[in-house]
Chain A
Amino acid sequence: MRSPLARFLVRRILTALLLAVGITLVTFVLTNLVPGDPVAANLGQRAVGDPAIVAQWRADHGLDRPLPQQYLMHLEGLLHGDLGTSQQSHRPVLDDLAESVPATLELAGAAILVSLVLGVGFGVVAALRRDRLSDHVLRVLSLVGISVPTFWLALVAFYVFFFRLQITPGSGRVDPGMTPPPHVTGLYTVDALLSGRWDALSSAVAHLAAPALVLALYTIGLLTRFTRSAVLEVLGQDYVRAARAKGLPGRVVLFRYVLRPALVPVITVAGLAFGSLLSGTVLVEAVFAWPGVGQYAYKSATTLDLPAVMGVGLVVGVVYLVINLVVDVLYGVIDPRVRVS
């Protein structure tokens, strides 16, 4: 007999797989609808003028076949782990992504981690100390966090902390000249920990700190505000009053009775915020010269490198799917009404 949670999980994962196929279709169609000619973008001025070269190039890249056939070839390739060859770097797109995706995941992951800890913490404190000084201060700060544009903050942070004060290292993921830790996950901090490369760990953390904080500021503000209102709403519920009537200690009431239901909307927002973090990385990566997927996407899009663009679209789509899956599963774990209905 399967537990309700397992059944709930299987259902969600099957839906996610279906959606993944949908993503491949959408990225493929959208990429082909782009009003631009990859031939002009990739071949030189003189080569474009030669029909034989153009035809040869189109045939090499499968662009001479009908679209449905191109899509099926694309799908078949995906099943074999083949995302095509980048027309720009002339390397398999998969290899390019294997380098840039972990860099972005490390940056966005660090940012969301910081945001969750600080945002939820600040939100709870603000709610519990409603209308007192600490609440007012936190509310103003969270508003600032939400209002400041990330690209501006990235430029200012880079200028002030690196160029002027010189307390943060400059661009890149580790100090120049340092060999990155042996590749296991592609996340430098994790790989450095796994291989015991303490010098690489401290360098990676130092390089990660400024861009991650810049990226996190918006989500910290967002989560502070959502957590505050969610906690305040739960505090007014009958079951919290009932818990007090039972004479339970304050911390039990807070952690068991208040935080658990309050986390449901917070998780929703955190999932959405992670998505916005991923798009925010494009600008932050540019400022801090972070070799992530944002930079790769930008380069591929401007050169109409279709396989690369499709690869990025697929990866970003799948990341969204995974986040949504995680959020759904967390709902089920937190709220029994979701899984036992």
Chain B
Amino acid sequence: MTAEPRAAALTIEGLRVSIGGHDVLHGVDLAVEAGRVHGLAGESGSGKTMTGLAVLGLLPHGSRASGRIAFGGRDLLGMPARVLDEVRGAKIAMVFQDPATSLHPMLTVERQLTEHMRHHLGVGGREARDRAAGLLAKVRIPGPREALKRYPHQFSGGMRQRIAIAVALACDPEVLIADEPTTALDVTVQAGILRLLRGLCDDLGLAVLLVTHDLGVMSAVADEVSVMKDGLVVETGPRGRVLREPRHPYTRSLLDALPVPPAGENSP
């Protein structure tokens, strides 16, 4: 699959991160384009999640980051938290691994869907509620109006992740970082979430950074694939090429570890 070159929505250059003096990222380079899903693969501890967190300034207590994270002509890394708050949630949003813990258990779905909308977009209560119901419909939550009044624990895991995606989309972001969005879910609901992400990317022109350790997931939706190992990106390229003719031995070993050949191998 070849794509015409586009302007990258989010570019990460030479990102280094250390936590408590221990280096976890050794100069990561990544570019995520609008309307494309960029899969970031690698085993646990390879630094995939830290890369995603660094973009939004969410690294754990006591970590240091250097390099450059360019978004809209600005470097997110040097930004003070107050300025970064204008970007996070509004322009770059994130979906976390486990919707059981990433949604606040004591706040209604409506509150969690509308509060950043009202904060970033300055919309009123009624308009925010209408938009929220629209978002829930978009992520295919049945009975969106009633769903607004309920709490996260009243939904199934797959539904919760759909709600978390709706929360991420609330302010029409340009970039969506999805950190293992299907790992905590049943296999049967995984496909639905991935299809949803793919559709949103195509319909809204979102740039999606899909962090996952699962190459099967990757092969189902990603346009580009980057493979990380020990805090470095070892291979980047179009999905078909990376999955069919891996150049790096680590990518090959990851592919060999799969019980069934990934879909990318059979796709044209």
Contact = CB atoms under 8 A, between A and B. Distances in A.
Tell me what chain A mostly uses at the interface: helix, strand, loop, or mixed: helix
A109 interface: no
A238 B85 contact: no
Interface string A233-249: 00001110111111111
A266 to B, nearest CB: 14
Contacts of A248: 85, 89, 115-116, 119
A2 B88 CA distance: 41
B96 A241 contact: yes
A121 interface: no
Interface in B91-121: 93-94, 96, 98, 101-108, 115-116, 119-120
Contact of B151 (A241, A249, A336): A336
Contact of B103 (A130, A242, A260, A334): A242
B140 to A, nearest CB: 21
B105 A238 contact: no
Contacts of A249: 85, 119
A257 interface: yes
Contacts of A245: 56, 58, 88-89, 93-94, 96
Interface in B162-176: 164, 167
Contact of B58 (A130, A237, A244): A244
Nearest to A250: B81
Contacts of B88: 244-247
Contacts of B167: 242, 246
B194 to A, nearest CB: 20
Contacts of B57: 244
A201 B265 CA distance: 84
Contacts, number: 81
B115 A252 contact: yes
Interface string A206-243: 00000000000000000000000000000001110111
Contact of A337 (B61, B85, B105): B105
Contacts of A340: 151, 154
Interface residues of A, number: 24
B119 to A, nearest CB: 6
Contacts of B70: none
A129 interface: no
Given A238-B102, A239-B104, A239-B105, A337 B151 contact: yes
A245 B90 CA distance: 9
Nearest to A240: B104
A76 interface: no
A336 to B, nearest CB: 5
Contacts of A247: 84-90, 116, 119-120
A257 B115 CA distance: 12
A238 B115 contact: no
Nearest to B120: A247
B247 interface: no
B101 A239 contact: yes
A299 interface: no
Residue of A238, A241, A243, A245 with highest tally of chain B CB at under 10 A = A245
B138 interface: no
A72 B255 CA distance: 80
B248 interface: no
A286 B196 CA distance: 70
Given A248-B119, A249-B119, A340-B151, A257 B104 contact: yes
B153 interface: yes
B68 to A, nearest CB: 20
A260 B108 CA distance: 13
Interface string A298-341: 00000000000000000000000000000000000011110010
Nearest to B105: A337
Contacts of A336: 105-106, 108, 151, 153
A256 B57 CA distance: 21
A261 B85 contact: no
Contacts of A241: 58, 96, 102
Contacts of B108: 336
B107 A256 contact: yes
Nearest to B100: A238
A256 B89 CA distance: 17
A192 to B, nearest CB: 39
A237 B101 contact: yes
Nearest to A336: B151
B106 A238 contact: no
Residue of A247, A252, A334 with highest tally of chain B CB at under 10 A = A247
A246 B105 contact: no
Interface of A: 130, 237-239, 241-250, 252, 256-257, 260-261, 334-337, 340
Given A130-B61, A242-B164, 8 more contacts: A245-B58, A245-B96, A246-B167, A247-B84, A247-B85, A248-B85, A248-B115, A261-B105
7 contacts: A238-B101, A244-B56, A245-B96, A246-B116, A248-B115, A248-B119, A260-B106
**Which 9 residue pairs of A and B lie closest in terms of their CB atoms, listed nearest first?**
A247-B89, A246-B89, A247-B88, A238-B101, A246-B116, A247-B85, A245-B94, A239-B104, A238-B102
